[in-house]
Amino acid sequence: MRKKVIAGNWKMNKLFGEAVEFVEETKNKVVSQDKVESVVCAPFPYLPTLVEKANGTELAVAAQNMHFEESGAFTGEVSPSMLADIGVTYVVLGHSERREMFAETDETVNKKAHAAFAHNLIPIICVGETLDQREANETMTIVEDQVKAALAGLSEEQVKASIIAYEPIWAIGTGKTATSEQANEVCTHIRKVVADAVSATAGDAVRIQYGGSVKPANVDELLSQSDIDGALVGGASLEADSFLQLVEAGAK
Ligand SMILES: O=C(CO)COP(=O)(O)O
């Protein structure tokens, strides 16, 4: 059985005190990592403090992005070695907001995935279609291309350790959740793409999250689907209570 992963993506929200308060409030309440992985994806300036606060607990801390290079003249960027050095363990890659607003491409996402594994960071690789693409019946090919490009050149072991987040762009922050059937249909397709491109074992092992207006009221239904192994949650992850409810759902 694949272990579920509940990740709260705070995006560009919370001031420092609020971030610390959230971690203090949740770190001893999240369910054991044997049952579900609980992750908060926080803004860069808070990461060292949050990692320190969460140290020795069941809560993991992730970055929301990184550069693929080790170091150098990349003003404003953060490297994978910097994240690993301060104890970050997961990193979100290729979120649609970064693809749309910050020129992230399939190629950079792939470079970042390789860089993540070089530093023992677990990548949460985001894929998903726009509303226009869905209406044009292009969802499966768009997502397939994104998945294949992101995973290109990774070893079977690395693919097995990867997390893919299927986030239909039209469902992000809109209150419009994909139905659990719509979400599962795409997650099943992603698993098949991984199985065909890498191996049946990798397809079976890779964890696939759904993201897009997930909240305590709809999470059970989504997580009950055969190929959905967790959730990447924006808005509903900002409050400690709501995040804890999502984690509880992941442990059921
Ligand atoms: O983009 C998301 C998580 O990465 C989803 O955001 P919402 O849960 O706010 O729709």
User: What pTM, to 2 d.p., does this model score?
Assistant: 0.97
pLDDT digit string, tens, across residues 45-80:
999 999 999 999 999 999 999 999 999 999 999 999
What DSSP line would sit under 161-220, residue for residue? Answer: H-EEEE--GGGSSSS-PPPHHHHHHHHHHHHHHHHHHT-HHHHHH-EEEEESS--HHHHH
The answer to whether 14 and 47 have CB atoms below 8 angstroms apart is: no
Residue of 214, 215, 237, 238 to test ligand 1 pocket, by largest number of atoms within 8 Å of CB = 214
33 Cβ neighbours under 8 A, 6+ residues apart: 58, 60
Distance 15 CA to ligand 1 centre (A): 19
Annotated binding site for substrate: 9-11, 173, 213, 234-235
ipTM of the complex: 0.99
Q: pLDDT grade, residue 1 (50/70/90)?
A: confident
Distance 172 CA to ligand 1 centre (A): 5
pLDDT digit string, tens, across residues 159-209:
999 999 999 999 998 888 889 999 999 999 999 999 999 999 999 999 999
Distance 243 CA to ligand 1 centre (A): 13
Task: Tell me, yes or no, if 67 is annotated catalytic.
Answer: no
Task: Tell me, yes or no, if 37 is annotated catalytic.
Answer: no
